[in-house]
Every structure is written in C-alpha cells, then in structure tokens.
C-alpha cells in the first residue's frame, strides 16, 4: 500500500494527470517539464507508438503516421498510421506514458486510479477506456464523469456547490455542457464541431478568404499537400494558428505566418472574436438548452464553471455572462480542473442521467435561437420607440416649419452663399446619424467595434443636433437663440433615445465596455 491516488483526464489535445500524496498534498504529474501531455500518437518505422512531444517531433518526418487527436477517433475502430492500429491501442499508448511517469514518482503503483470521461459517453466508449487502461498497466480503475470532477474542484474540500452547478467545458474537440447536483449529472449535452480545433479552422478560413486570392494556385497546393514536405508545412501552419489564438487571449494583436505567400498576416482579438462568435453563440444556445433540460430557469440559481483550454478566450465569458445573466467562474489553468477534481471524487459510483446525445453520435441537435435580454422589455421597447420617435418628428417639424407659422423667437437663418436654413442642415445631419445608430447593431462587426460605433454615433447625435445647432445660430446670425434651435436640440435627444430603444441592449452597451472577463 503506497497511499497514493492517481487521477487522469484523457483529453482531445492534452492529457492531464494529478497525484494525491499520502499526506494529502496534490501535485501534477509532469511530462517533459509540463503538466500537459499532448494526446498525439505517432507510429515509428517499426510500428512502435510514440506519444506526447516525441510524437509531435516524429510527425515532422512521417506526418502520414501521425494522429493528433485520438479521442476524436473513439468510434472509428482502427486508425491508419502506416498500418491499421486499433483505437484502443492509441488510448493505451497515451495512458501507458502516464503510467510510466507515475511510477517514477510513486516508486510503485498507486493504490487508487481514477479516469474521467465525458458525461455523454455510453457503455461502449467507457469500456474502451477501461480496456485501454488495463493494457497500460491500470487493471482496476474508477470512472468519474468529467463535469462531476470539475464541480468538485470548485467546491470546498471536494464538496460540490450548494444547489445545481452548470459546467461549461470547451475543449479542443468538443463543447460539453452539464448540470451537476450532489454528484449526479442532471442533464448533459454536447457539440462535436464547436471546440478549439473548430475555432482554429475558422481562423484558417478567414485567412484564406483574406489572402488566398493573391496566389490561388499556391493556396490550393498548400491546402492539399501531396508529399511529406507539404504536410509538414501544413502542420506547422496549423500549430502557428493555434498559438496565435492562444496568444490573443492575453494580447490584443499578433501575427500568423502564411507559408504559401511567405508573409506575416496580422490578426487582432477583434478579428478573432468576429470569427469565433458564431461557434461560441452555438455553445451558448447549447448551455441554455441544457439548463432547461435540467428543469432550471435562466439565469441558473447555481454557479457557472468554465473548464477546458478553449474557455480561456475572453469572448466565451463575455457571451455567457451577457446571455445567461450569471458571471462565469474561471481558473488560471482550466485544463487542470478535471484531473484535480477527480482526486476529490468519492469511491462510490456516480449516477449519470444523460439527456444529450450518447453513442453513436447523430450530430448536433437543432438549438433554439439566442434571446436578447434587455433593460427595456420586448413589449415595452416598441412603445418607447413610438413615443420618442413621435417627439423627434414633432420637434423637427417645428424646427423646419416654425418660421412659416410665426412661432415666437423664430427667424430664418441662412448659411453664407447657401439659400437654406441651418435648421434644415441640422435635420439632415441628425437623420443620417439616426440611421447609423439604428443600423449599427445589425452590421456584422466585431463586438468591440459595434460598441464603439454605437457609442460614437450616440455622442455625435447629441453634438450634431444640439451643440452644432446652437453654434450655427449664434455664429452665423448673431441673434439670440429661438424656438427652432431649442426644438432641434430636443429632437436630437429624442432621436438618440429612439435609436437606443430600437437597438435594444446592444445599443446601451455602447456607453460602457462589457468586461472581457467577469
């Protein structure tokens, strides 16, 4: 009896292992100095399976014998790596590397081994993991659903949070959402095409749209390599894209080298947000649907936990906070959450009630549209827009025609060399600004650019219809201000309020910066 406990989170792109020492301290198992073991597998010339960084290095020489994400091949049976290799052997190779490193630390075998798995996996997939663990040297393992382990990590002393907790797991290959309470999975669902790898693919598509036409032939040759050198170049480009995506979680701008043009393409966080927003929006709809499947309201009564490396993107926390009304909780290293939490899981089996797709995976189910929460309710917004719009219309009618009907204090004002009233110019200016304010929320722009446009439009609307009108009358006519000027100023305020009412909550956010992280 060594008194050690091992927990392993076998992920799509990385595998994490954590050890609990006999004195209760928890330490991460290091692989080449890092707590993240690449889950990649590469077969060498003799058929031996290399894992981790060894596999990444070997893939540069033999990319045709390389599998970067074995977990995504769970239902394929075999994978062609020069020769057909059973998927269970790929799993066993990765887990065997974990066992090798653990034995160096423990100087023996751990007393207890816990493996985590996606809550939506059925008996066949769980059996595949169990057989792979046995082949790797772990004959007896306990299986714990990943969301249960994550919920226990965020709890105190391994206890789950009071009430139901929502676990949002955005990994490399999939997006999984579960509702957990008292160690049970009340509801779970997932998307197999909305993970970090899909964000990488969207970035590649964006770069191809921007730069592919400069040399279409070179782009097509790069996109469909026919030799090992081309596949190595394509692999390096894919790694550069992923590195740029991860860097944009910390910085505002970076570059991606485009080998087919030999240029460095700049990419900003705003561009990344614009590319990733459709994918993240699908995961938000998935989250709402899973919460509803658990019988909970939105916002949910319990906490919302972010898990998985891709959840680091600031856009994830921003959109979840915006559409669910609850601030997500994120740690500095979301990749380690599941493995560390699995160490706190009790030996008793955990009940799983699967409400989402199990196996075989039929693909993502249709998702309901994202609602738009608003400080002005949907029913009240048209009424507010109508009232404010009528006020604006009346004020401008007074502004334009006040001189004709003889209102007190009104007199015609002319621009030098222009036979037209300045109030008419102001009316045209404010009308154009109103169009910008109303249409800006519908324009496809990065979120931060939308906020800037709406905020600047609102400020310019006030200046254009208020200050500009006052300045024109005082500067060009040398007369006291009259009713027409004040009508123009009132109309400007009404127009701005109308645009905000019509635009809904997105327009209100023009006046404040939505935080990137809760």
- Residue 345: per-residue pLDDT: 72
- Residue 182: per-residue pLDDT: 87
CA dist., res. 84 & res. 66, Å (int): 12
412, pLDDT greater than 80: no
- Model confidence at 417, pLDDT cuts 50, 70, 90, reads very low
When pLDDT is averaged across residues 445-469 and rounded to a whole number, the result is 55
96, pLDDT greater than 50: yes
- Residue 386: per-residue pLDDT: 56
Q: pTM for this structure?
A: 0.66
**Residue 186, phi then psi, degrees to nearest 5:** -75, -35
Contact yes or no for 244/256 (Cβ under 8 A): yes
- Model confidence at 501, pLDDT cuts 50, 70, 90, reads low
Q: Compute the mean pLDDT over every residue in the chain, rounded to the nearest whole number.
A: 76
Residue percentage of the chain with pLDDT more than 70: 65
- Residue 364: per-residue pLDDT: 43
Question: Which of residues 405 and 225 earns the better pLDDT score?
Answer: 225
Please choose, from the candidates 158, 145, 214, the residue with its C-alpha nearest in 3D space to the C-alpha of residue 184: 145
**Residue 441, phi then psi, degrees to nearest 5:** -60, -25
**Residue 58, phi then psi, degrees to nearest 5:** -65, -30
Most confident region among 13-17, 359-363, 441-445 by mean pLDDT: 13-17
**Residue 480, phi then psi, degrees to nearest 5:** -70, 155
Please choose, from the candidates 127, 104, 145, the residue with its C-alpha nearest in 3D space to the C-alpha of residue 7: 145
Question: Which of residues 355 and 179 earns the better pLDDT score?
Answer: 179
**Residue 22, phi then psi, degrees to nearest 5:** -60, -25
Q: What is the pLDDT of residues 132-178, one digit of tens each?
A: 999 999 989 999 999 999 999 987 444 445 579 999 999 988 899 99
Contact yes or no for 304/324 (Cβ under 8 A): yes
Three-class SS of 331-351 = CCCHHHHHHHHHCCCCCCCCC
Q: What is the pLDDT of residues 27-59, one digit of tens each?
A: 999 998 999 999 999 999 888 999 999 999 898
- Residue 445: per-residue pLDDT: 47
Please report which helix (H) or strand (E) contains residue 487, including its range.
helix 483-503
343, pLDDT greater than 50: yes
From the CA atom positions of the chain, what is the Rg in Å?
Answer: 30
Q: Choose the weakest-confidence range: 52-66, 193-207, 376-390.
A: 376-390
Q: Which two tokens stand for residue 235?
A: 């692999």
- Model confidence at 515, pLDDT cuts 50, 70, 90, reads very low
Name the residue with tokens 């400069």: 214
When pLDDT is averaged across residues 417-441 and rounded to a whole number, the result is 49
């Amino acid at each position: 009896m060594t008194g050690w406990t091992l927990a392993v989170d076998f992920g799509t792109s990385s595998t994490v292992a954590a050890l609990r020492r006999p004195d209760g301290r928890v330490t991460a198992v290091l692989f080449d100095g890092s707590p993240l073991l690449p889950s990649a597998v590469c077969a060498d010339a003799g058929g031996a399976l290399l894992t981790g960084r060894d596999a990444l290095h070997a893939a540069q020489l033999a990319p045709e014998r390389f599998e970067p994400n074995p977990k995504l091949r769970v239902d394929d049976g075999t994978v062609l790596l020069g020769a057909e290799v059973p998927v269970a052997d790929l799993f066993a190779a990765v887990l065997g590397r974990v066992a090798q490193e653990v034995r160096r630390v423990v100087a023996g075998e751990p007393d207890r081994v816990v493996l985590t798995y996606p809550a939506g996996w059925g008996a066949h997939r769980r059996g595949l993991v169990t057989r792979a663990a046995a082949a790797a040297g772990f004959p007896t393992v306990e299986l714990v659903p990943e969301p249960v382990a994550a919920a226990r990590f965020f709890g105190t002393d391994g206890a789950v949070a009071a009430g139901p907790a929502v676990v949002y797991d955005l990994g490399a290959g999939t997006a999984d959402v579960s509702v957990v309470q008292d160690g049970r999975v009340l509801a779970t669902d997932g998307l197999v095409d909305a993970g970090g790898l899909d964000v990488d693919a969207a970035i590649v598509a964006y770069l191809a749209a921007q730069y592919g036409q400069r040399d279409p032939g070179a782009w097509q040759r790069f996109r469909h390599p026919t030799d090992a050198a081309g596949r190595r170049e394509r692999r390096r480009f894919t790694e550069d894209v992923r590195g740029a995506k991860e860097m944009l979680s910390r910085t505002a701008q970076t570059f991606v080298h485009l080998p087919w043009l030999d240029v460095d393409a700049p990419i900003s966080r705003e561009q990344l947000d614009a590319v990733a927003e459709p994918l993240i929006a699908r995961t938000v709809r998935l989250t709402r649907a899973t919460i509803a499947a658990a019988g909970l309201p939105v916002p949910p009564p319990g906490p919302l936990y972010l898990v998985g490396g891709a959840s680091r993107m600031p856009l994830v926390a921003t959109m979840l906070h915006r559409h669910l009304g609850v601030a997500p909780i994120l740690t500095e290293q979301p990749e380690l959450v599941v493995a560390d939490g699995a160490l706190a899981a009790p030996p008793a089996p955990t009940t799983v009630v699967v409400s989402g797709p199990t196996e075989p995976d039929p693909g993502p189910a249709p998702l309901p549209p994202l609602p738009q929460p608003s400080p002005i309710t949907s029913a009240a917004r048209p009424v507010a827009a109508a009232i404010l719009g009528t006020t604006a219309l009346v004020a401008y009618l007074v502004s334009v025609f006040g001189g004709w009907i003889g209102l007190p204090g009104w007199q015609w004002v002319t621009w030098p060399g222009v036979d037209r009233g300045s109030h008419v110019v102001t009316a045209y200016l404010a009308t154009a600004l109103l169009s910008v304010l109303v249409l800006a929320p519908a324009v496809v722009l990065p979120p931060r650019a939308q906020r800037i446009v709406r905020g600047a439009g609102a400020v310019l609307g006030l200046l254009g219809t208020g200050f500009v009108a006052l300045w024109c009358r005082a500067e060009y006519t040398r007369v006291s201000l009259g009713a027409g000027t004040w009508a123009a100023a009132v109309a400007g305020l009404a127009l701005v309020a109308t645009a905000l009412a019509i635009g809904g909550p997105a327009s209100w956010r023009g006046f404040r910066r939505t935080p990137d992280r809760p």
